[in-house]
Amino acid sequence: KQPLWVPDSEAPNCMSCQAKFTFTKRRHHCRACGKVFCGSCCKRKCKLQYMEKEARVCTGCYDDINKAQAFERMMSPTGPVPNSSVSSEHSSAVPPAEEAQIPGSASSPSPSALLPISALKQPGLEGLCPREQRRVWFADGILPNGEVADTAKLSSGAKRSQESSPVNPDLPETLTEDDLVTDVNQKLKEESDRITRMEEFHPSVPSDDAQQATPGQSEVAPSYKFVTLGTEECSPAEAEKSRPSSVDHSTQDVPVSASSYRALCGVENWVRREISLLADGDQLPPLLLALGEKEKDFVVEEHPFHQKVTLLLGEGGPNPLTFILNANLLVNVKLITYSSEKCWCFSTNGLHGLGQAEIVILLQRLPDEDVFPSEILKLFLDIYNDAMKGRFIKNMENITFTENFLSNKEHGGFLFVSPTFQKLDDQILPDNPFLFGILIHKLEIPWAKMFPIRLMLRLGAEYGAYPAPVVSVRNRKPLFREIGHTIMNLLVDLRNYQYTLHTIDNLFVHVEMGRSCIKIPVRKYNEVMKVINSSNEHVISIGASVNTEADSHLVCVQNKHGLYHTQAISATGHPRKVTGASFVVFNGALKTSSGFLAKSSIVEDGLMVQITQETMESLRQALRDKKDFKITCGKMDAGDAKEYVDICWVETEEKTNKGILSPVDGKSMEGTHSEKAPQCRDFERDGKVIKCTEVYYFVKDHELSSAVPHQFAKEIATACSTALCPHLKTLKNNGMNKIGLRVSIDSDMVEYLAGSGGHLLPQKYLNDLDSALIPVIHGGMSDPTALPLKMELIFFIIEHL
| pLDDT 10s digits, 291-317 | 755 555 678 888 898 888 888 888 777
- Provide the pLDDT confidence category of residue 580 given band limits of 50, 70 and 90: very high
Long-range Cβ contacts of 753-756 (<8 Å, 24+ apart): 753/87, 753/118, 753/664, 753/665, 754/664, 754/720, 755/166, 755/167, 755/662, 755/663, 755/664, 755/665, 756/663, 756/664, 756/731
Query: How confident is the model over 731-737, as a mean pLDDT?
Result: 94
Delimiting residues of CATH 3.30.500.40 domain(s) in the chain:
673-799
Q: What is the pLDDT of residue 705?
A: 54
The pLDDT-based confidence of 67 (bands split at 50, 70, 90) is low
Q: Output the CA–CA distances (angstroms, integers) from residue 53 to 153, 228, 560, in the order listed.
A: 36, 59, 82
Question: 319 pLDDT band (50/70/90 cuts)?
Answer: confident
Instruction: Decide: helix, strand or coil at residue 343.
Output: strand
User: Check: CATH 3.30.500.40 for 673-799?
Assistant: yes
Higher pLDDT, 203 or 539: 539
> Is the pLDDT confidence value at 637 over 50?
yes
pLDDT digits (tens, 9 = 90+) for 55-65: 899 988 887 78
Mean local confidence (pLDDT), 323-351? 94
Residue 542 has pLDDT above 50, yes or no: yes
The reported pTM is: 0.70
Residue range 366-418, pLDDT digits in tens:
998 888 999 999 999 999 999 999 999 999 999 999 999 999 999 999 999 99
Highest-confidence range of 73-82, 142-151, 597-606, by mean pLDDT?
Answer: 597-606
Read off the pLDDT of each residue in 203-221 and give the average, rounded to a whole number.
Answer: 36
pLDDT at 620: 96
The residues that bridge with 694 in the sheet, in sequence order, are: 676, 794
Most confident segment among 29-33, 651-655, 710-714: 29-33
Which of 115-119, 429-433, 556-560, 597-601 bottoms out in mean pLDDT, i.e. has the lowest?
115-119
Could you confirm whether domain 507-650 is CATH 3.30.1360.220? yes
At residue 420, the pLDDT reads: 86
Residue 536 has pLDDT above 70, yes or no: yes
Q: What is the mean pLDDT of the chain?
A: 78
Q: Mean pLDDT check: name the lowest of 175-179, 430-434, 537-541, 572-576.
A: 175-179
| pLDDT value of position 784 | 74
Task: State the Cα–Cα distance between residues 510 and 517, nearest whole angstrom.
Answer: 5
Residue 638 pLDDT more than 80? no
pLDDT at 118: 44
The maximal CA–CA distance of the chain, rounded, in angstroms, is 93
Q: What is the predicted pLDDT for the residue at 8?
A: 87
DSSP letter (8 states) at residue 385 = H
Q: Could you tell me which of 274, 276, 252 has the C-alpha nearest to residue 265?
A: 252
Enumerate the CATH 3.30.40.10 domain ranges in the chain, comma separated: 8-57
Residue 128 or residue 282, greater confidence? 282
pLDDT of 257 > 90? The answer is no
Is 322's pLDDT higher than 90?
yes
Q: Choose among 79, 123, 143, 69: nearest CA to 781.
A: 69
Where in the chain do CATH 3.30.1360.220 domains reside? 507-650
Q: Determine the pLDDT at residue 326.
A: 96
Average confidence (pLDDT) over 514-541: 92
* Helical packing angle, 613-624 and 525-534, nearest 10°: 150
CATH of 8-57, one of 3.40.630.40, 3.40.1380.20, 3.40.47.10, 3.30.40.10: 3.30.40.10
